[in-house]
A and B are shown apart, each in its own frame.
Chain A
Amino acid sequence: MSATTELVSYVTTSSHWTGERGIPWRTFEHLRLSASAVAVGIVIALPPAVWLGHVRRGGLLAQSLVNIGRAVPSLAVVAILFPLSLRYGFGLGFWPTFVALVLLAIPPMFTNAYVAVRTVEPAVVEAARGMGMKRAQVIGRVQVPSGLPLILGGVRVATLQVIATATLGAFVGFNGLGSFINEGFRQQDDGKLLTGAFLVALLALLVDIAFGRVVLRITPWRAAPRATKGSSL
């Protein structure tokens, strides 16, 4: 059987669509984990990044710390946290993977947000101050909205990385789309393996498209110059 027919035959078998090991449930679990990790990452990364960008200080230090985070392999984080998770009653799968994904999500969001706020045209910021805006207003009404496309670009990159990397959870018993890949590999079941890979890619693509729409809606003034669509640095 060719790869495509194996994939099609796995996906079209009805028993693969039911129960907690079926396609819908695992997709849902995958999304739930990814969304929680990105949400928590946003809460941790964006406020300090915006603040440091605003005061234009401590950027280098923070940037270095965050970049060290990029060098830590997610698999190692998952593997180190797994026994701790079992010992302290957090169970298999979700929590070790969640922590690794939060750490993965922080660097691109932090970097983008910091640069976005810091590089807002100084004349605009001066003008805002000249109009009598207070600090919170300068940040909230001028700097963040101006930098929003870049900030959202960081969130977008982080989200895609998180969705792709959440597959690692399968190695510590997280029941997401990675489980199809892990089991397919171990059982030499190519249909199952390809199903996992295909669904992760599809999910990432759909989320990215949805993200693009949302970004366009939030920042309509960016619609014209598409070439500078928010990207990481």
Chain B
Amino acid sequence: MARCAAGYERIIAVKRSLKALLVVLTGVALLGSACGDDDDAGSGDTAGSADTKITIGAQDFGESAILAEIYKQGLAAKGYKPTIQKLGGFRDLEIKAFESGTINFAPEYAASLLEFLNNKAGEAGSDIEANLKKLEPRLFGRAKLQALDASEAVDTNAFVVTKATAEKVGLETLSDLATKGKDLKLGGPADCETNPFCIPGLKNTYGLDLAPKFQALETGQVADALDAGSIDVALLFSTDGRIEAKDYVLLEDDKTMLAADNVVPVVTKDLAGDESLVDAVNAISAKLTTDDLIAMNKRFDIDKEDAAVIAKDFLAEADLL
């Protein structure tokens, strides 16, 4: 009997400590959520409503993070309370996040998005207006999305090699790559394999299949891997500050596989109905240029500055805060 009683007491003691643990864990969880909410409201005019829920999706590369910050801070200055959701992936994940309602705003690229949504039909051309017109029904078909005004800033995929490789193999254009570089190793973000302006585009336009030796890498690793000689050809973006800083050779797209990839914000139909929000977003997009992107990417990739700081400087310079 005595033994039984002792056992019972022990169980009670264990239960008590479990309860205490639970209380502590709950406290920590609540603390965390309270901390997450203290984003200060914009200090500018308060045309926007803080009730409009805006979640901006940022893809897994620097420029997308910077653009997301620019739209976030620009909207915050108008009294909105946008938040950023890092997607940890690329367009494939972003569209799913739209469809599931996780995000309702994303900085995008007109041509790449069009070719993604039309299953690589090859509709995107070098005319941004035509691209946007074709994009409209495709976007609406997927999760009732809508594109706002496109900016004049353009960022396309960029295939680069080191100067040494360019001289050794004799590479200046993507056509050269197709004839002399079949055995070279291409490295880039994993989505290159499905991106119509990457491996599938090279196959269709140049007849070059780099898939068998493709090396999938995290976005931030690509340039370093090229420097180390672990890959021969790197997929970067045309607005990457490192192309100039590191003297890489940008292979010319002589058969115009790449199309007008202007930065364009994509939102859900609900958000597009908010006129003052649309005006605010369009005002930001109107100020953005390709040179801005190059300068901001350089600060992010080479100087290792924070996306939020870079975005704030841009907005201050453009008088949008």
Contact = CB atoms under 8 A, between A and B. Distances in A.
Contact of A171 (B211, B218, B225): B218
Interface in A16-72: 19-21
B230 A186 contact: no
Contact of B230 (A19, A173, A189): A173
Nearest to A89: B228
B90 A173 contact: no
Contacts of B90: 186
A182 interface: yes
Given A21-B214, A86-B224, A173-B217, A183 B93 contact: no
Contacts of A86: 224-225, 227-228, 230
A186 B225 CA distance: 19
Q: How large is the interface on B (under 10, 10 to 19, 20 to 34, 35 or more residues)?
A: 20 to 34
Contacts of B216: 170, 173, 179, 182-183, 186
B193 A187 contact: yes
A179 to B, nearest CB: 7
B213 interface: yes
B42 interface: no
B224 A83 contact: yes
Contact of A19 (B89, B212, B215): B212
Contacts of B224: 83, 86
B189 interface: yes
Contacts of B247: none
Interface string A1-20: 00000000000000000011
In order of increasing CB-CB distance, the 10 nearest A-B pairs are A186-B190, A188-B92, A86-B228, A92-B230, A19-B212, A183-B190, A187-B194, A91-B230, A183-B216, A186-B89
Interface of A: 19-21, 82-83, 86-87, 89, 91-92, 170-173, 175, 179, 182-183, 185-189
